[in-house]
Amino acid sequence: MTESFLGGVKLTLRLRELTVVDLDVHVYETPAALAPHCAQPWRTSLEYFASLPQSYLGTPGFAPYLDAWPDFPPDSPRRQTVTSPAQLRGDLDDLGIDIAVLIPDCFLLHAAIRQTDYALELARAYNRWLTGEWLTEDNGVKGAVLAPHHDPLVAAEEIRAYADHPNIAAIYLPTSCVDPLYGHRRYDPLYDAAQETGLPVILHSGLNVHPAFPFNLHGYETAFAAHALAHPFSMMANLASIVETGVPVRFPGVRFVFTEAGLTWVPFFLLRLDRDYVTMRREVPFYTDKPSVYLKQCTYFSTQPIEEPDRLGDLATFISLFEGEDNVVFASDWPHWDFDHPLKAMQIPVSDEALAKIMGGNALRLLGLH
């Protein structure tokens, strides 16, 4: 599994002329890779995990993916992970992506790890490894510092420690199985640090739906059903939490990116929040206008996996329903099985100006890379 299978697809002139910024590219952190960056006693744990057979996103105690369905091996010879900086830059070049922000693979499940001190040291080790081995060049490869939800004070320390790193461009909040949700006031120190440093906050889930997720999603028999809902529900659950505690007014400098849930849920959910605000304003009195007015200033939504309606024009309609031209950002999710090639997102029939914003301009502004 060493080939990307990307090289044969020609990039269009239109794509090559755009500045493409990708807010969701995964880097594969293994126990063996992180062990040298991890303090004792937890290094011993990683060395032990490294000695076990590795299963992608399925290493107990490291990537505790509790899937409960049989797999039909897809028999794809395509590489599903990125394991070296040179390989990564080559993939991005093949995809026509100029700037990418790296977030984890295994630690998509970081919030599901139970032992607090261990989880905190894993986050520190990941951030050391990311900056020490992946973000050493000025080649458009950026990273998001992993903020462990287990202790928001440590999360704030990590954010501040790396904020001035030239290639740290964002903060990553693992969303799978997080409890409590990210609007809880215990996270205020984390948002203090986000606001102080100006780094945008990227939320990203997985298809984990248990042990902690509402609405009995754990009862699904298939990855198909879990994946259909895990990502958008996770984004909605955390967005509602962030809104209900007033994060957008208490931390007006914090900007959020909601990833891997496509776009069509966004107009539905913003309209839903706005409607409930009208009838329940007393519960959220820190707002003097509809939530969507505030969210317009601080939320971004990434494209992947872009929905595939028979009428491509519907995608432009969905974006127009939340006036999202300035809030939609491209993401590929490379190298995952459901990645989007930039050419796919570029099928959205919007103006050249709007497309340039979606494919890169909005993200450049968000990341402060103008």
Partner 1 sequence: MTGFAVVPLAELPEGAHTVVEVAGREIGVFNVRGSYYALPNVCVHQNGPLCRGAVSGTVVASAETAWKHTWAHEGEIVICPWHFLEYNITTGECVNFPGRGLPHYRVVVAGDELQVYGRTG
Q: Is 170 helix (H, G, I), strand (E, B) or coil?
A: strand
Smallest distance from partner 1 to CB 67, Å: 17
Nearer to partner 1, 75 or 164 (CB): 75
Q: Are 57 and 140 within 8 A, CB to CB?
A: no
Nearer to partner 1, 74 or 285 (CB): 74
Nearer to partner 1, 12 or 55 (CB): 12
- Point out which residues bind partner 1 (CB under 8 A): 5, 8-9, 72, 74-78, 337-341, 343-344
Nearer to partner 1, 163 or 225 (CB): 225
Smallest distance from partner 1 to CB 337, Å: 7
Nearer to partner 1, 48 or 69 (CB): 69
CA 336 to chain centre: 13
Show the 3-state SS of 47-82.
HHHHCCCCCCCCCCCCCCCCCCCCCCCCCCCCCCCC
Smallest distance from partner 1 to CB 56, Å: 15
Smallest distance from partner 1 to CB 75, Å: 4
Q: Which tokens hold the place of 367?
A: 């990341």
Nearer to partner 1, 245 or 332 (CB): 332
Sheet of strand 21-27: strand arrangement: 21-27, 99-104, 141-146, 168-174, 201-204, 256-258, 299-302, 328-329
CA distance readout (Å), 3 to 77, 139, 311: 8, 22, 33
Position 75: which residue type? D
Cβ neighbours for 365, distance < 8 A, ≥ 6 positions apart: none
Smallest distance from partner 1 to CB 355, Å: 17
